[in-house]
Amino acid sequence: MSDKSASAYWAANIRLITICLVIWALVSFGFGILLRPLLSGIAIGGTDLGFWFAQQGSILTFIVLIFFYAARMNAIDRDFGVNE
């Protein structure tokens, strides 16, 4: 792999990690803590939406992020010819 190709590969990798971390922070800290008072008036599953995001919603989002990251990294690896 050339230096330009390696730099592009790591730039794509860092961009994907940044996107995943922003989504993680938004869901866990944003929806679960900061926006909880605003979401408390919306009922879902017998409780308010803010509590749901802080408990079940964040866990489900993290699981989806794991599969999203794996799928995108496989695609990035294929694009740069470093797949297994």
Residue 84 is assigned to a structural domain of this protein: no
Residue 23: CA atoms inside 13 Å, Cβ hemisphere, count? 18
Q: Model-level pTM?
A: 0.77
Within a domain: 60? yes
Q: pLDDT category, 69, cuts 50, 70, 90?
A: very high
5's CB contacts (< 8 A; 6+ apart) are: 80
Residues spanned by the domain of 38? 3-79
The yes-or-no verdict on residue 1 having pLDDT over 90 is: no
Q: How many structural domains comprise the chain?
A: 1
Task: Please report which helix (H) or strand (E) contains residue 54, including its range.
Answer: none
| pLDDT attached to residue 30 | 79
Q: CB within 8 A of 77, min separation 6: which ones?
A: 83, 84
